[in-house]
Structures are given as C-alpha cells and as structure tokens.
Structure 1
C-alpha cells in the first residue's frame, strides 16, 4: 500500500503524527514537543522513507529545530521493527524488557532502555508512561501520554477497537492480556482516553468498556 501520513493530534505541548505503512497497515506515530523540538517515534514499523517524510512534515511543529531523540517499540513482532535499524541509527531505543531479545533478533538493534511496568520515558519534555501488557507478546508495552487534559494510549497490538490483540487461541495468554488491559488501562485511565493501536483506527476506553464482559466470554 502507499504510505500515508497525517497530523492527528495538536495538544498544548506536543503534536502527534501518524504514518500508515506496509501491506499490513502498520501505524507509526511521531510525537514532537512544540518548544524543545524533541521527537519520539513509536514503532519504526516499515518504510523508512515514509517515516522520514513524517519527520520532515513535523519539522514545522516546533519552535526549535526538531530532532528525533528516541524510538520506542511496542513489541517484538517483525512488522513493528522492520525500519528500526535504519531509523534508529545513532538514536536511543526503548522497549519492554521481555521483548528486547526478540527485537534484536528481528531487527539487529539492541534495545538501550529496557522497560517494566510503571517506568517513565523522558525526552526533551515528552513524558511517556510504560504499561506492561502481557499476552500478545511477553514484553508488550503501551505508552501513555498525558497533555492538557488529553490522554493518549499507544497500545501496539494489545488493544484495538473491538477487542484485545491476538493470543493465538491460548487461554492463558488471552486471560493474562485481558486482565492486564482491564486493570492497567481501563482501571487506570478515564473513558475519554484515546487508544491509538498498532494497526487501524483509534478508539476510546469509554467506547470499548461496555464490551469487556463480551470479550471475556468469547475468549478472544
């Protein structure tokens, strides 16, 4: 598919842009701090040229010269790291501790910052809270950004409109993922929190909350 990029959020201190890349329609998200120019990329999924175009588009989003300071990966699956070696050349990286070895095996990139539940990433005024969601992969991380009363949850492949991520029909993995999503996302953040998944369109916790019993009952 042809990669597309767009400005999806303009918040008081940051902007957020999205590039949709690859035949799997992966979302790569770019956060830019309006004053410092610091940028954080979430998931260098594929198509380094499209990601670079997004970086170029975001150059006008800040008062200071923009600079990519961190690449944060949501999980180890190959479709989320295909451009990591190219984009993260010389740029620090972060990911869940339990997925770091898999990310290095897939991409050849060693993870600089190993994350656990509750850790906080800082980059030029951007703060991201790491939420460990076990089940889709052992070390999947959702990154949560709060700015001016808006909460954004970059959920990777752990939460989508209509359900949690693929757990390959493993009941234990499904229960672990849904338990974590219920406790660590739905139990911790408001209904107007925006969920920005690794594929497809955004949703909110409030839109999905009524379906939690249905998801648990159907087992996926």
Structure 2
C-alpha cells in the first residue's frame, strides 16, 4: 500500500485505492483541515467529507460530478467551502441532527445515529458521537474485502479524543461514546481518518485509552 495519509496544505493529495472505493485525502485552509473525497469504483459517484476550505482546491479535486457533501460537525473550519462547492456541483448536503442548525449552509438530509449514507454501491454508516459538539458524526466504511475505515471528524485523533474545552461532562460523554461505539465495536485494524493531521489505527490508540480517561482530555 502506497497510501500514508500525510498531507500538507498546498501539497498534493494522497490516494488510497480499495476494491470498491477510492479515498482521496487533501489538507486545506489555515487550520490544516482534512477533506476526503470518496469515489465508488463501480459507478463513479462521489461524496465529499467536510468541504472545509479552499473551494477551488476541492472543486478541482472533484473534477466532475459530486453527489453529496457530509459535514462531520458544526464548527466553522469544517464548512468554509461548503456553499461554493455545493453551488458549483449541486451536491446534496448531509449533517448530524443536532449540529445542522449550526452550519450556515442548509442541510438537505439530517443524519441520525446508525443511518446509512450511500456513495454509488458503497454504504457508509453514521455514528453519533457527543462531546466535541452535540451532533458530531463519524462515518464507517466496513470494507467487505478488507478492514474497516472510519472518518472521525474532530472526535478521535492520534493521541486522544477531540477537544471538549476542559469540560468534564463533555469529555466523559465523548470518551464514553468513542469507547462504546468505536473501540468496543471495531477491530484494531480499523483505519482512522481524522479531521486534522495524520491518520492512525484503533490498534495504535487502544493501549492509551486508560491514560486518556485518567488525564481527562
């Protein structure tokens, strides 16, 4: 596998080719956001996760039709390019039920925990994770010919869960959701694609769970 997931703002995207899905990762904007373009190999249909910034970069990456854009959560750095991308492509917008009102572009499809979002013949499962924001969603592609792939927004990174502003209740909620809905359900081979920075795997992060809980962030 040539994919490594180490991308930089202004640099080239990185491409991962799976049997049924092509994943292209690019870094954009002043906050080093990751955007992920998913393309079904059978149909060519495309879905973008987080139109974060640099609309020209993302539209060029799409290079054709775009069926949908999923926004992982309401924080503004994850949707700065959403209006321009939707305007250029006509893509349908998706967001979690409890974050949709915080996104300045109208959400066409509200997403609940366990909902399926399709890109061509590929199915993604949404998981509601509470704490970084009230309505953050992660997207899981459980590759039938490989291991799972999880797009976590700002809920899980290498080295910890997302920012909860040192609020113990929010941290307990996010940590609890990430453990129960991610680590307790998915194998170590699960590849994690976060909203900023480098990728990781659940196996790399699992040994640190107790330390995360102890430190409270």
> If the TM-score is normalised by the length of the shorter chain, which range does it land in?
over 0.9
Aligned to 2:5: none
Aligned to 1:150: 147
DSSP-derived class of the 1:211 partner: helix
Aligned to 1:185: 182
Aligned to 2:78: 80
- The structural deviation recorded for 1:2 is 4.4
- The structural deviation recorded for 1:116 is 1.2
Are 1:94 and 2:94 matched, yes or no? yes
Matched-pair contact (CA < 8 Å) for 2:14–2:26: no
Alignment deviations for residues 182-218 of structure 1 (CA, whole Å, 9 cap, x no partner): 0001011110000000000000001000100000000
Q: How many residues align?
A: 207
RMSD: 1.2
Matched-pair contact (CA < 8 Å) for 1:26–1:79: yes
- The structural deviation recorded for 1:149 is 1.5
- The structural deviation recorded for 1:110 is 0.8
Counting helix residues as a fraction of each chain, which structure ranks higher?
1
Correspondence 1:1-220 to 2 at 5 A: 2-56=9-63, 67-89=65-87, 90-103=90-103, 107=104, 109-147=105-143, 148-220=145-217
Matched-pair contact (CA < 8 Å) for 2:153–2:194: yes
- The structural deviation recorded for 1:45 is 0.1
Matched-pair contact (CA < 8 Å) for 2:9–2:32: no
Q: Distance in 2 between matches of 1:48 and 1:194?
A: 27
Q: Distance in 2 between matches of 1:47 and 1:151?
A: 29
Q: Distance in 1 between matches of 2:19 and 2:148?
A: 12
Q: TM-score normalized by structure 2?
A: 0.92
- The structural deviation recorded for 1:40 is 0.5
Matched-pair contact (CA < 8 Å) for 2:39–2:119: no
Q: Distance in 1 between matches of 2:206 and 2:147?
A: 18
- The structural deviation recorded for 1:8 is 3.1
Q: Distance in 2 between matches of 1:4 and 1:120?
A: 32
DSSP-derived class of the 1:98 partner: coil
Aligned to 1:60: none
Alignment deviations for residues 55-95 of structure 1 (CA, whole Å, 9 cap, x no partner): 13xxxxxxxxx621110010000000000001122211111
DSSP-derived class of the 1:4 partner: coil
DSSP-derived class of the 2:12 partner: strand
DSSP-derived class of the 1:182 partner: helix
Q: Distance in 2 between matches of 1:52 and 1:19?
A: 12
Matched-pair contact (CA < 8 Å) for 1:5–1:18: no
Matched-pair contact (CA < 8 Å) for 1:158–1:177: yes
